[in-house]
Structure 1
Amino acid sequence: MSLDVEKIEKSLLVGEWNDDLEGSLPSALVEIAKDVVNGAFHAALTSQPSRDLFTVKLPSDDIRSRPLDEWFDLTLAPENTSAEGELLRLVLGVACLRAFVQVNWTGPDLEFKPLDTISVSQQTSEVITEEELHQRSVSELAHGGEPAYHLAQVPVFLRLAKILFALPYTYCQSAAWWRLRTWLVHEQVLDEPAAVPLDILTSVDPLTETFASHPDLAGRLILEQGLLEHYLGHDKSAAEYFVRAARATQLEYELTGALGKRTKFQQTDITQLVLLAESRKREDDVEGNANGDNGDQTNADESAEATNSSRFTVPETLALNDDTLLEQTQFTSSAAANSGNRLSHLDPSSQPSLHPLDQSILLCLCLNVKNTSPSHGLTAEQMSPYVTRVISHPRNWSVHTMALLLRARLEANRTRTVERSTLQLQALVDQMPTADSTVTERLMYVHQIPLPSKWEMEKELAMRFLSIGVVKSALEIFERLEMWEEVAKCWQSMERGDKAVSIVRDLLEGKKAEADRVISRGKAVASNRRQVLDALREAKLWCLLGDLEPDHALENYNRAWAVSKETSGRAMRSLGAFYFARGDFQNCVDCLRRAVAINPLLGRSWFVLGCAYVRLEDWAGAREAFTRCVTIDDEDGESWSNLASVYLRMGEIGQKAEATDAEDAEADANETVPEQSDEKAKSIPFSNKMLAFRALKQGLKHSYENWRMWYNYMIVAMDVGELSEVCRAMTRVVEERSAKDGAASVDEDVLERLVDAVTRAPANPDEAVEAGRDAKSVARNPNEGHGLLRRVIDLFERTILPRVSSPRIFRARARLLTWQGQWREALDTYLDGYRCSTAGTMEKGETDAAKWREAVDEVGDMVDVLRNFGPRVEGYNWKSQARSIVRTFMGRTKDFEDEPEWSRLTEMQEELRRDEGERDA
C-alpha cells in the first residue's frame, strides 16, 4: 500500500501518470489522482470525496469573522488520519495549487468557479459569494506586511492549497515538497518578496536522499530550492543549488568558443561564444537522439524540425528578419576551442536536443549569470548562448516560453533586435489564453522555471512600451491591471500629476471601483467598496497618495499605518524615508525598525536605517543594518563601503567589532575615509581595521570603477600592512582620476611610504634572508622589501609616470633607483623632479619671496644630490651640471639679490668653482 502511495506521489510531482497504479488503491482516490495529473481539476475538485472535505462546517453567523482555515474540518474525521486520508488531502491540495497556477501562469482559463468545489448549506450560500471568497483569500494571502495581487484569479485555490499543505503528514513524504512549491507561487503573488518560514527549505532536505536514486526527481527538488532562494534575493545560494541540480541530473555543459559568423557580410570567421551541453541518456527519451551526435548538419536540422513540429506545440519563435544580423550564429568549425574531453565530440552547429528538465536548469544558470555579473554588455553575451541552446530544440511549451522571454529581455536594449523583442513579448502575452497545448504539458515543468505570472508578463510589456516612449499603451495596460502606482508614474511622465492624485483619491473614497466585474454591478456595490477593500491594499493607496502629495505626506503615511492596523511595511518604509529626508533621524530609525521587523528582506530599508544610525553616531546599530544589507545582497558595494567606515568609527569610542559571517566593511561610496591622527588611529582595534579591509575588498568586486572606494581601500590597506594591495588600489585611483586631477590623483604620502617599505630591506636579496639560505628559495613577503619591489616599480613605470608627474613623485622614484644602485637613472630622475619643481619652473619677474626661498632650498638639495651621487657615475660631469643649475636659477631671480638667502646661492657657486679648479689642478 505504501509503495502505491509513493508511486502516486511521484506521478503528482513529475506530472505524468503511471499506468501501473490502476486498481491498487481505492478506485475513487486513484481516479482523483489521475485526474489531477492529467489536468482535469474540475473533475477532481467536484468529486464526492473532495466535496466532503470542502464542506463548510461553520454557521453562517460566524463565516465573516473566521478565517478560511476554520471553515472546514480537515483533521478530525478518522478517515483523514489514515494513509488514504492523507493522500486525499495531498491530491486535492495539488489540484488547488495547479488550478491556480494554470489560470494565472500558463493558461488557459478554468471552466469552473471556486464555489463549484465548496459545499455550503442553503443558508450559508447567501453569505458565501464568489466576491466574498476572492476578497477573503486575497486578504489572507497578504504576508510579511506585503499585500497579494488583488486581481489574481481564483486566489481561494492558493489559500486552500496552503491550508492543506500546512497540515501534519505522516504517510505522504512529498507534502513538504508541495509546501515548498506553494511558497514559490505565493512569493510571486506578493508586491515584494517576504521572508518564508525557516523550515521550508530544511524540511525537504531529507527528500534529496530519498530520491537520490531518481536523478530527475532529485534535480527537480534542488532546482526548486534554488528558485526559492532566487525569489528571496539570495543569489549566491541560488547559484549553488542550480549547479547541484545540474550535477544531480548529470547534465554536462560548458561555455566555450568556436569559429563562426554573426553577420551576413562577415568575411572572416571569429571566435563566437557557444554553450556545449548534453543530457544523460534516458530510457524513455527517444527525442534526445533526434539530431544525432554526428552526421550531416542539414539533415540533422530537418530531422529535429520535423520531430519538434510533429510532437510538440510551442509558442511561435519570431524571426529577426534583419538586413545585417543572421538569425543565429553560423558556426564554421565542427569543434569548439578548448572544450573538455566529455563534450569534445559535440558539433557546435548540430548539438543533440536536451531533456526539458536540463533545459530548465540551463535557463536558471543563465538567470544566475545575470544576478552575479556586473551590469554591462558581457552579461548579455554570456547569457545568450544559454538561451540559444534551449531555443534551438523546443521540447516543452512552458520551458520554451521562458527561453523566448529571456531572449526578449536580452534583445530589449539593442537597436537591431528591440523590435523583435517587443513583438515576441506581445506574442507571449497573447498566447496565454489559447489552448494550443495541453494543460499537462504546460504545467509539467512550471515549478522548475522562473516563469512570471500573467500580470507580471503584461506589466513587463507595459514597461517596455514605457521605455520606448509609448506611454498611452503602457497606461492602458497598467489601468487594466489596476497597478495604480505605475498608472501614477505614467500620468506624472505626461506632466499630469493632478490626474494621478484624482485617481487615487477616487479609489480611496469609493468613487472609483476597481475591476470591471464590480463596475458592471452598479453604483450600489461601489458605495460599499471601502468596506471590502483589503486593508494592506488600502494602506498602499494611502502611501501612494503621500508620495503624490508631499505637503500632506506625513498625514497620509500615518493614515496608511493606522488603516493597516500597524501591519503595513510599506507605510513604515515611507515614513522612515520621510523623516530621513528631513533630518529627523531618531524618528527615521524608529519607523524603519518597525519596517524591517515586518519584512526583513528589503535591503533598501536596512540601508537607509544604517545611514540614519550613522547620523546618530550609533555605530553598533549601523553595523547591524549594513551587515544585513550585505547578507541580503553581497554585491551591494555601497553597503560594504559603509560597513567598513562603521568599523573604523566604532574604534573611536573603544568598541571592538566582532567578525560576521560575511567578512564585513566600508564608508559611504561617495565619502572618503577620514584622516586619522596617530593617536586616534591607535585607539582603533586592529581587528576592526582588518574587518574594514575585508569589507572594502569584498565591495570593490562589485564597485570596480568607484575611485572613492579604491582610495578608502588604499588607506585602510596601508593601515593594516597590506602594501601590495595599496599598490593595486593606487593604480585604480590614478587610472580613474589622472585625466581630470593630474598629480593630485596620487597620494604622495602613501607613495613615499611604499618606497620606504621597499628600501628598508637590504638591497642585496641574499642579505635580506637568514644566513646560509638562498634568496631564490625563500618565499618573499609581498608587503615589504624585495617581495614588494616589483609592484612598486610597476606602479611608477606603468601607471603613474606615463600619466602624471610632480617633484615628490620623481624624488620617490629616484630613492628607489638609488637603493637599487642605478645611479645614472637616479640622477636623471632627480633632475626630472627638479625641472618640474618650484625652482625649475620659476620665471623672471617672480615677486613672491617665500616661494623664492623655497626654491633656494630645492636648488641646494639638487646640488647636494649631484655632489653625493655624481662621482658614482663614470664619465658624468656632475659639477658642470650643478654650476649650470645654480647659474640659471640666479640669472632668473636677480630681483632677490637683497635677500639674505642670496648669499647661500653665491656660496654654492663659489664652492662649485673651487671644486672645478681643484679638479683641473
Structure 2
Amino acid sequence: MSLKTLLAKLVLQNPKIEFDNNHEEVDEQIQNHVLAIVNGHYFQLLQSKLFSEIFFQNNDILTATQNYVSSNGEDLLTYINTLTDILKQNINSCAISEEHKKIYTLSIAILFLQFFVVANFSGPKLPFELSDKEIGFMGLLFTTTNTNTKFKFNFQTQSLDLLSISGYSPYHLSETPFFLVLSLHMFERLQGTSISLLGSEKNKLDSSFVIENSFDVNFLSEQNQGAYINASICWWRARALQVQQSILPEISSEIITLSLELLGKKTVNALIDTVNVNSKANQYLLISYYLENANISIAGDLEVQTLDFILNANKASCMSLILTGCKARMTKHQTKSTATLTVLAKSSNTLLSSEESEKSFKPQDVQLNDDLFLEKPNFDSLGDNEILKDEETNIENDFTKRIKIDYSTMNDEIPTTIDKKLIPIAVKESDIPAELNNIDPNDQPTLANLDNIQLLLRMQAIYNNTPDGNTLVNEELIAVIQRVLFSSSEYVNWLIFSRALWYRSLLETARSRTVERGVLQLYSLVEELGVTSEHTARLFPKTDDEVKFPTEFRNSTDITVALTNATRLRYIYTLPLMPKWSMDTKLAEKLMELGSLKSALEIYERLEKWTDAALCYAATGDSDKGVELVEKALQYNPNDARSWSVLGDIKSDPSLWEKAWSIGRYANAKRSLAKFYSNPPKDSNVEKNLQTAISHMFDCLSANPINFQNWYFYGCMGLEVGNYELAAEAFTRCVSLDDSNSYAWSNLASALIQLDKISEAFTALQKSVNSGDSTKKSWKIWENYLIVAVKLGKWDEVLHASIVLLNDKKDLDHSTTSIDIPIVEKIADLLTSEPFDANKRETYFQKTATDFICNMIPSVVNSDSRIWRIVAKVDFWRKKPWLALEDYEKSYRAVINNPDLTSDENVWKIAVEACQELVSAYENFGELEGRHGAGDVVCKDWKFKAKSTIRSLISKGKSSWEYTDGFEALQELKLEIMNS
C-alpha cells in the first residue's frame, strides 16, 4: 500500500478500511510498525528491534534517564528535551528517507499517547510497576516510582505542571502523565513550533501569542512535499491536545482554538484519495473528520459549530434519521398502547459495507428487572400526532444555539434540504422519509459505528445545553440512546455501547422507577474500567475481558489483548473523552443528588479529590472540614489556583482569591471577588463597592470570555450603576453565547432604551419574548415589550403583548393592574376608526382586538366601570347595541356596588357619570332594532329603567351628597327623562 494510505489507516485506527490507491509499496518495516499501532500491539512495537535500537534500549537515553533519576527528577523539561534530541540523532543516523524518519518519530509519539489513553480512559491499568528492565528507560522510570518517594513525587508533579494551562491543573492522580507530556512534546518538535504549550503556565504568556506561535499555517501548504505526513501529525496532535483538555477541570480556550486550527480543512484534504474521490475510504475519512471536529466543539462548548459539524457528518454518511411518535406498551400488564417517542435511523449501504463487523466484549448491561416495566418498549404504530404536536418547537428551543468564538476555518455549507436541527422530527406518519417508513421500530437495522457515534454526539450536544428536569427533552434523549442500545447487531463497538449505557444511566437516575438501575449501571461501568481500588468490594464480577487483560497484557501474541486495545481505542477520539476518574466523580455527584453523602465522600477521598470533597462538606455546613481538605489538596499542589479559589469561597477571604488569580489567572477567583464586593457578607465589615466588583469581573472576562453567567453578572452590575454602555456590551455578549435566554435579551433592551436606541431595544425584546421556556418567562419582559411597542406605534405587537400579559397575570391576583386601560382605549379607538362591515371579512387585528376587548378582558376584569365603557364602544361599533346597553349597565353596577360610594366623593362623582352614560344609552339604544331582528327593539321600557336607575342612585346618595353638584345633576337628569 502507499504511504498516504498507511497514514490514513493510522488516523482512522482501522486496518480493515480499504483504499484503492495501493500502487506504490511502503517499506515493510514501516508498514509493520504503523499497523502494530492500528491493531493495538503496543508492547510488540515497543520491543521491536528498531525501536529498541533508536530509543527504548539506547545507551545514551539510558544514561540520560539514570542521571535524571539520580537527581530525584529535578528538571523534567530538560530531560524530555534531552530524550528527543537523542532520538532525533538516532533516527537521523538511520539509512532511511526523511519521510520515513518523520513517520518513526510520529509512531513513537502516538504510542506514548495511546499508553496514556489506555491507562486513564479505556483501561485497564498498564503493568509498568513490574520490573520491566527489558523496556529500557521506561523500566527505570516506572520501577523507581515504587522505591523512591521523592523521585515519584517530583516526577508526577512536574509532569502535571507541564500539562497545566490557563490556571487549570490536571487531576493529580492521573496515571503516567509523563507519557502525555512526552507525546505532546514530540508532536511540537515534529511541527517545529516556536512556542510550546508545555510549561506555558510558568511563562505567563498571552494566550493569543501562544496560539499564533504553536502552529505554522504553512505546515500544510500544498507546495510542501509529504503534506499527508504533516496532515497526520496535525490530526494526532489535535487528538493529544484534546486528551490534555479532558484532564483539566475547565475549558482552555488555547487548546480548543489550536485543536480546531490543527484539524482544519487542509488536514483532511491532504489525506483524501484524489484519484478515487468517491471511494468508501474517503467517505470514512470525511465522516471521522467532521465527527472529531464536532467532538472538539462540544468540549469547547461551541454549540453552533457543533451543529454544523454534525450536519456535515450526516451529509457525508447519508444516514437517514427521524424522531417520531409511536404507540407502545411500556409495562408488562399494559393492554392499551400509549404515545411515546422513538428514533428511526438507517445507515447507507455504502457505509455499512465499508465496516467489517468484529465481535468484542460488551460492557455489562444491567437489567431493569422491574415487576412492572418492560426492559424495552413494545412498539405498535408509527407517526403519533398527539405526542409530537408541540415537540418540534420545544426541541428547537431547548438546544440553545449559543454563538461563541468562531474558531472554525471551514466554509462548509449545509444544503437547504437539510433542516438545521440536531434531531429532525416527523409529526405524523406521512412526514417519515420513505426509506424509514417500513422499518419495524422493534427490530431496526444495524447502524454503522460512525452513525451510532453521530447519534451520541447529537445526544451529548442537547444534553449539555438543556436544563436539568426537562422531561420532554429527556424522553427525546432516551429515544436516541435506545436506538443505539436496541440495535439488532451483536457487533456494536465496546466504547460506543458503554457510552450509550453511561448516558442512559445519567438520565435514568432522575426517574424514580429507574434510579436503581441507573446507579448500578454507573457502578458497573466504573468498575469495568478499573477505577475502584483493589481493596474496594465490587458490585459486579469481572468480565472475561478484564480477567484476561492484566495477566496477558504484555504477551504480544495474545489476540484478545490486541483486539481489546484496538476496539476500545478505535473511536475514542470521536466521542467526548471521559477519564476514568471523571466517571467516578460523576457517580459521586449522582450519589450526592440522591442523598448518599457518605458513599460520595468515600469516592472523593479515594480519588483524593480533596477540593471536591471540601465543597461537599461545605455544602452540608461543615466548613471546617472543607477547609482542612482544601489545605490538604494544596499540600500536594501549592500552585493549584482552583484550590486557592475554593478555599476563598469557603472562608470568604478576598486575599485567597487574589492569590488564586496571581498564581494562574484563574477566572473563577475574580468572579468570586466581584460577587464579594457587589454583596459583601454582613460580618465582613466591607462596604458594597460595585465599581470594584465591575473591575474584578472585567479581569475575569479577560481570562475567560466565553462564560455566559459571567457576562450576565457583569451586565447586571452595569445596569445597577447606570453604566448602560457597559451593560449593553455585556448583554450583547450574553446573547451571542446563548440566544435563547429571554432575560439576557430583556436586559439588553433595558440598556438600549436608556441609550435612546428604541428600535434596537424593540428588536431585542422581540428576541426575548420569542426565546426560552415560555412557562418560566417573567411577565415584566412582556410589560417592557408592550411599552416599547407603544412608543414605536406597533399596535399589532401592542395587542399581542396585552393578550399575553392578561393571560399570564390573571392567576396572580393582578386582576386590575394586568390591564393598562389607556392602551386598551387606544386599541379600541384604532379598531373603531374604520366603519364596521358585516359583509366584509375582518382583518386579523380587528378579529383579535374584538376578542381581546369583548371576551378576554371581561373574563378577568368585571368590576371596573371604565373597562365596561370601552367594551360598550366596541359592541356598538360592531352593530350590537343590545350588548352595548348591557355593557353600560354593568359599568353602572360596578360603581354603585363600591362600598365607598357613601363616603368617598370621587366615587360618588364616578357613579353620577356612569348613571348619566347609562341613561344616555337607554335613550340612544332603546328604540334600535333588537337582537333577533324580528321587529323587536333593544329595550322597550327604556324610559322606566332610566327613571328607576336615577331614583335608585338619588336614594343611595341623598344622606351623604344631597347638596353636591352631582346630586343636583341627577335631579336635573330626572326631570329631563320625565319631560321627554
The AA in structure 1 aligned to 2:886 is: D
Match 1:64 to one of 75, 99, 114: 75
Indicate the residue corresponding to 2:780 in structure 1: 708
Sequence identity of aligned pairs in percent? Answer: 26
TM superposition shift of 1:162? 2.9
Greater shift in the superposed pair: 166-175 or 570-579: 166-175
The CA distance in 2 between the partners of 1:19 and 1:50, in whole Å, is 32
SS in 2 for 1:901: helix
> What secondary structure sits across from 1:744 in the alignment?
coil
Report the Cα distance in structure 2 between the residues aligned to 1:272 and 1:112, rounded to whole angstroms: 51
Name which of 435, 438, 443 aligns with 1:345: 438
Whether 1:450 and 2:576 are equivalent positions in the alignment is yes
| Equivalent in the alignment of 1:816 | 874
Match of 1:528 in 2: none
Distance of 1:830 and 1:56 partners within structure 2: 105
CA distance in 2 between counterparts of 1:849 and 1:574 reads: 58
Taking the aligned partners of 2:127 and 2:816, their CA distance within structure 1 comes to 74
Give the secondary structure class of the aligned counterpart of 1:151. coil
Quick check: 1:17–1:38 contact (8 Å CA) kept in 2? no
Aligned to 2:898: 842
| Equivalent residue number for residue 33 of structure 1 | 34
Within 5 A, what are the aligned runs for 1:759-774? 759-764=832-837
Q: Secondary structure at the match of 1:893?
A: helix
> AA paired with 2:805?
V
Deviation at 1:702, TM superposition (A): 6.7
Matched, 1:753 2:826: yes
Instruction: Provide the residue aligned with 2:114 in structure 1.
Output: 98
Instruction: Identify if the C-alpha distance between structure 1 residues 367 and 727 changes in structure 2 by more than 3 Å, giving closer, same or farther.
Output: farther
- For the 8 Å contact 2:719–2:727, the answer to whether it is kept is yes
Whole-Å separation in 1 of the counterparts to 2:900 and 2:785: 44
Does residue 489 of structure 2 align to residue 384 of structure 1? no
Letter in 1 for 2:336: T
The alpha carbon displacement at 1:419 in A equals: 0.7
Does residue 218 in structure 1 map to residue 286 in structure 2?
A: yes
Match of 1:476? 602
User: Which residue is equivalent to 1:201?
Assistant: 260
**Aligned-residue offset at 1:763:** 3.5
CA separation in 1, counterparts of 2:692 and 2:787? 34
Residue 184 of structure 1 pairs with residue 213 of structure 2? no
Q: Separation in 2 of the partners of 1:23 and 1:845?
A: 104
Paired amino acid for 2:658: N
CA contact (8 A) 2:76 2:159 kept: no
RMSD: 3.5
Change (3 A) 1:432 1:913: same
Deviation, structure 1 residue 621: 2.0
The AA in structure 2 aligned to 1:575 is L
Deviation of 1:421 (Å) = 0.7
Matches within 5 A, 1:371-770: 371=464, 375-393=469-487, 395-433=492-530, 435-436=545-546, 438-508=564-634, 510=635, 514=636, 533=637, 535=639, 537=640, 539-550=641-652, 553-562=653-662, 564=663, 567-582=665-680, 583-649=688-754, 651=755, 684-697=756-769, 699-700=771-772, 704-741=776-813, 742-764=815-837
**CA deviation after TM superposition for structure 1 residue 249, in Å:** 0.8
- Among 226, 230, 234, the alignment partner of 2:298 is 230
Note the C-alpha offset of 1:329: 0.8
Alignment check: 8 A CA contact 1:689 1:720 kept: no
Deviation at 1:911, TM superposition (A): 1.1
- Which residue of structure 1 lines up, in the alignment, with residue 380 of structure 2? 332
**d(CA) in 1 for partners of 2:583 and 2:890?**
65
1: distance between equivalents of 2:354 and 2:81? Answer: 49
- Cα 1:195–1:842 shift into 2, 3 Å: same
Q: Contact 1:230–1:238 at 8 Å: present in 2 too?
A: yes
- Cα distance in 2 for residues equivalent to 1:894 and 1:845: 11
The one-letter amino acid of 2:724's match is W
2:630 maps to a residue whose letter is V
Opposite residue 889 of structure 1, the aligned amino acid is L
Query: Displacement, 1:423?
Result: 0.7
Matched ranges for 1:218-297 at <5 A = 218-282=286-350, 285=353
SS across alignment from 1:801: helix
1:603 and 1:381 mapped to 2: Cα distance? 27
| Aligned residue-pair number | 813
Note closer, same or farther for the CA distance 1:503–1:704 as it changes in structure 2 (3 Å cut): closer
Partner of 1:165: 187
* Residue 889, structure 1, aligned to residue 953, structure 2: yes
Match of 1:138 in 2: 160
CA contact (8 A) 1:177 1:221 kept: no
Deviation at 1:353, TM superposition (A): 1.6
Aligned twin of 2:918: 862
**2:539 maps to what in 1?**
none
Once the two structures are TM-superposed, the CA of residue 39 in structure 1 deviates from its matched residue by: 2.0
Return the alpha-carbon distance in structure 1 between the equivalents of residues 63 and 800 of structure 2.
70
Q: Is the 8 A contact 2:892 2:911 kept in 1?
A: no
Which of 354, 357, 367 lines up with 2:447 in the alignment?
Answer: 354
Tell me the distance in 2 between the aligned counterparts of 1:626 and 1:108: 47
What's the offset of the Cα at 1:713? 2.5
Partner of 1:662: none
CA contact (8 A) 2:319 2:347 kept: yes
Change (3 A) 1:466 1:905: same
* Greater relative CO, 1 or 2 (CA 8 Å, sep 6+): 2
CA-to-aligned-CA distance 1:221-259 (integer Å, 9 cap, x gap): 112212222222222331232222122111111111232
Structure 2 unaligned spans of 5+:
192-218, 385-428, 531-541, 547-562, 681-687, 931-936
Structure 1 residues 761 and 693: CA distance shift in structure 2, 3 A: farther
Mapped partners of 2:331, 2:773: distance in 1: 34
**Contact (CA 8 Å) 1:640, 1:696: kept in 2 or not?**
yes
The answer to which of 570-579 and 803-812 deviates more is: 803-812
Report the Cα offset of residue 283 of structure 1: 7.4
Question: How far apart in 1 are the matches of 2:915 and 2:464?
Answer: 59
Q: 1:144 to 1:560 in 2, by over 3 A?
A: closer
**Once the 2 structures are TM-superposed, how far is the Cα of residue 117 of structure 1 from its aligned partner?**
7.3
Deviation at 1:456, TM superposition (A): 1.4
Cα deviation, residue 844, structure 1? 9.0
Q: What CA distance in whole angstroms lies between the structure 2 residues aligned with 1:85 and 1:376?
A: 54
The answer on whether the counterparts of 1:859 and 1:886 sit within 8 Å (CA) in structure 2 is yes
Instruction: Output the CA distance in 2 between the equivalents of 1:45 and 1:311.
Output: 26
Contact 2:749–2:762 (8 Å) recurs in 1: no
Q: CA deviation at 1:859?
A: 2.0
Alignment counterpart, residue 789 of structure 1, candidates 825, 833, 846 = 846
Match of 1:11 in 2: 10
8 Å CA contact retained: 2:706, 2:737 = yes
State the alpha-carbon separation in 2 of the partners of residues 282 and 44 from structure 1: 33
Residues 195 and 881 of structure 1: CA distance in aligned 2, closer, same or farther (over 3 Å): farther
- The residue matched to 1:327 in structure 2 has which SS? strand
Letter in 2 for 1:385: A
Task: For 1:331 and 1:388, locate their aligned partners in 2 and report how far apart those are by CA, in whole Å.
Answer: 13
Q: TM-score, normalised by structure 1?
A: 0.81
* Partner residue, 1:669: none
Give 3-state SS (helix, strand or coil) of 2:328's partner: strand
Structure 1 contact 737–745 (Cα < 8 Å) conserved: yes
Letter in 1 for 2:260: L
> 2-side partners of 1:55 and 1:788: how far apart?
86
Change (3 A) 1:843 1:644: closer
CA distance 1:324–1:753, change in 2 (3 Å): farther
Matched letter for residue 343 of structure 1: L
When structure 1 is superposed on structure 2, of 323-332 and 488-497 the one drifting more is: 488-497
Match of 2:184, as an amino acid? Answer: K
Distance in 2 of aligned mates of 1:911 and 1:25? 116
